[in-house]
Chains A and B, each alone.
Chain A
Amino acid sequence: MSLLLDILSGLALLAGSLLCITGGIGLWRLPGVFCRMHAASLNDTLGTPLILLGLMLQMEPSLTTLKLVCIALFIMMTNPSATHALSRAALHGGERPLADRAAGAEDESSKR
């Protein structure tokens, strides 16, 4: 049983850290604000609960476990909505998605 838990938690931690590091790489390498947002938010939203899950599986059930559950839920709720607000703000602020940029160059003037 404890071996199973160890393996599970190891897997969760591994997957979580992989997601985190890919998120970091994506944030650094991808072109354009919206691509970067995509990389950052998706990886964070899954990676954080996975790492926390890995931690939870390793510890005795206690108040700390409950708090970790709260953190995971919290981040799963706040992270997407923060990114949503961010992308909205970026769109309002005049940033254009890369796909639009080529086509949008001429109708930019007609919109404003």
Chain B
Amino acid sequence: MLFATLIALLGAMLLILARAFAGPSVYDRVLALNMFGTKTVLLIAVGGHALGWTGYADIALLYAMLNFIGTIAVLRFFEATASDAREERT
């Protein structure tokens, strides 16, 4: 069961990466980044449990936090850049 979950996660990661490469808009890429982070958290948790790593939960927790910070930062700076560009145009 754990390995089936791992395979499902890796498959989802592949699809997300494809979206991140193809993503027509920046928002698609941000979304892919956010989702990829969540999948990495899960991958570390499940893989860590299946392979008996020590201390994997700390790292997964850290990822969950930083992923959120990263997404918010991307959006904030993207908005800033976009509205700067808009001001320039007017």
Which residues of A are in contact with B by a Cβ distance under 8 Å? Answer: 9-10, 13-14, 16-18, 20-21, 23-25, 27-28, 33, 36-37, 40, 44, 48, 51-52, 54-55, 58-59, 63-64, 67-68, 70-71, 74-75, 78-79, 81-83, 85-86, 89-90, 92-93, 95
Chain B 37-61 near chain A by CB (<8 Å), digits 1 or 0: 0110110011001000000011011
Q: Measured between alpha carbons, how far is A13 from B2 in the docked complex, in Å?
A: 7
Which of the residues A67, A68, A79 comes within 8 Å of B38, measured between beta carbons? A79
Q: Which of A9, A24, A68 has the most CB of B within 10 A?
A: A24
Which of the residues B9, B26, B64 comes within 8 Å of A71, measured between beta carbons? B64
- Is the pair B35, A89 in contact by a Cβ cutoff of 8 Å? no
